[in-house]
Amino acid sequence: MISEFTIQVFDHPDQLSAEWPEAGIKSDTRHTVFQTTTFLRTWLASYGAVSNGRLCLVEVRSAAGIPVCFLPFVIVSRNGGRMLSFVDDGVSDYNAPILFAGAPEWTRDLSQQFWNEVVAALPPFDLAILDKMPEYVEDQKNPLFLLTDEANGESCHLTNLKRSWADIDQAQPGSKNLRNRHRALGRLGECQLLIAQTAQERAFILETLLAQKQRRFEETQVPGFDKEPEKKAFFELGTDNFAAAGALHLSALVVNGQIIAAMWGLIEAKHYYGLVFTFESGEWSKYSPGRVLHYLLLQHLVDHGFDCLDLGIGDEPWKLNCCDVTIDLRKATFIRTARGRLMAARLRFMVWLRATYVWQKIRPLKWVILRALRAKPVT
């Protein structure tokens, strides 16, 4: 079969062509903010700094040299072998190719040929798991989506803002109650929606947001920034990197100088992505500060011409309740070697194990004990 594509693979963002999109810069490419060079550099300086991974940034062009599709991959040593995935580690909501106007009409057969040629150009790996893949990237079909019928397990959820505020307000559950709680907060003193514009405001919000998030990790008895400092580093570095690109949207609900809820978000054109959402508990719970912030943020984004507020991946009931659009995602698993087959079997077993009653009861105790030991003073 004659190849329809020419393929190059790079291992650092500095090597990429000028056609690879940057956050905050208008581009003709079809992509999300999670495929931009800004995201890749932030990941590389945080997760990449503690990873044994090798970036495989793939540029696919037509025989005439016209860009067709770019792919941000990484190969890591994990689960007993070499695993290929999108650059992610839990900080990307949408994993997809970067697509161009000159892309072909993708069919399953052409997508399979495309994938085979990409694999041939990549360094060796045992297993590929490509998850969180949407069917479309803007208006173009995702060729990798055509290669799998496997559901991702979780979807993304957003609110469509391309309609009047009256319609959006009416569709929000408990909107009257949220307005009442906002007014109640106002009776406590100065209450404002703060959208960070300066480095000082960004630092003010970020410090509280990270502290609230760590507290939530501990309350839900899951690994937090204490176990995975690279996660914290991603948002610290990302605050500076995306702010410099004009693609950061950091917001907070502030009462008398105290942040009671915050959202760390990114923007790409008119698409708002909310990545980290935190709020105070305790005495503040009766005011539903997180829900009030979300409600105020909806109105703010409508006023500023955004198309959607995207809360990203996760099927939590509160997302299902307040969002009106669900983006179904797929996962593709490609086994390349006998070792890859063993890796896939091990991963399936771990998925089964984590769903069992015993695991869900015992697993959180590990983090309770570890945190207690860390907090114990040395004598």
Q: What pLDDT score was predicted for residue 41?
A: 98
Per-residue pLDDT for 374 more than 80? no
Q: Is residue 345 part of a domain?
A: no
> What backbone phi and psi angles, to 5 degrees, belong to 183?
-65, -40
Taken in order 344, 72, 41, 194, is the CA torsion positive or negative?
Answer: negative
State mean pLDDT over 187-210.
98
Q: Is residue 30 part of a domain?
A: yes
Per-residue pLDDT for 237 more than 80? yes
> Could you tell me if 194 and 214 lie in one domain?
yes
Q: Could you tell me the CATH number of the domain that includes residue 84?
A: 3.40.630
Q: What is the DSSP letter of 310?
A: E
Total tally of structural domains belonging to the chain: 2
State mean pLDDT over 35-41.
98
> Could you tell me if 141 and 9 lie in one domain?
yes
Percentage of residues in the chain having pLDDT higher than 90: 84
Q: Could you tell me the CATH number of the domain that includes residue 248?
A: 3.40.630.30
Q: What pLDDT score was predicted for residue 2?
A: 54
> Could you tell me if 287 and 221 lie in one domain?
yes
Q: What pLDDT score was predicted for residue 223?
A: 83
Identity (one letter) of the amino acid at 33? V
pLDDT range class, residue 371, cuts 50, 70, 90: low
321-354: per-residue pLDDT in tens?
A: 999 999 999 999 999 999 999 999 999 888 888 7
66-94: per-residue pLDDT in tens?
A: 999 999 999 999 888 999 999 999 999 99
> Could you tell me if 34 and 142 lie in one domain?
yes
State mean pLDDT over 156-170.
97
> Could you tell me if 150 and 167 lie in one domain?
no
> Could you tell me if 149 and 198 lie in one domain?
no
Residue 151: beta bridge partners?
330
Per-residue pLDDT for 278 more than 50? yes
Mark 273-285 as b/e (b = at least 16 C-beta within 10 Å): bbbbbbbbeeebe
Q: Is residue 317 part of a domain?
A: no
> Whole domain around residue 293: which residue ranges?
163-306
Q: Is residue 214 part of a domain?
A: yes
> Could you tell me if 40 and 139 lie in one domain?
yes
Q: What pLDDT score was predicted for residue 291?
A: 97
> Could you tell me if 151 and 178 lie in one domain?
no
Tokens matching residue 215: 């507290």
User: Cα(291)–Cα(317) distance, rounded to whole angstroms?
Assistant: 13
Contact criterion met (CB below 8 Å) for 251 and 293: yes
> Could you tell me if 139 and 245 lie in one domain?
no
Q: What does the DSSP assignment read for 31-96?
A: --GGGSHHHHHHHHHHHHHH---EEEEEEEEETTS-EEEEEEEEEEEETTEEEEEES-TT--S---
> Could you tell me if 174 and 302 lie in one domain?
yes
Tokens matching residue 125: 């790996």
Q: What pLDDT score was predicted for residue 367?
A: 53
Q: What pLDDT score was predicted for residue 360?
A: 72
Q: Is residue 350 part of a domain?
A: no
Mean pLDDT of all residues belonging to the chain? 93
Percentage of residues in the chain having pLDDT higher than 70: 94
Q: Is residue 357 part of a domain?
A: no
User: Cα(248)–Cα(253) distance, rounded to whole angstroms?
Assistant: 17
Q: What is the pTM of this model?
A: 0.92
110-128: per-residue pLDDT in tens?
A: 999 999 999 999 999 999 9
Q: Is residue 36 part of a domain?
A: yes
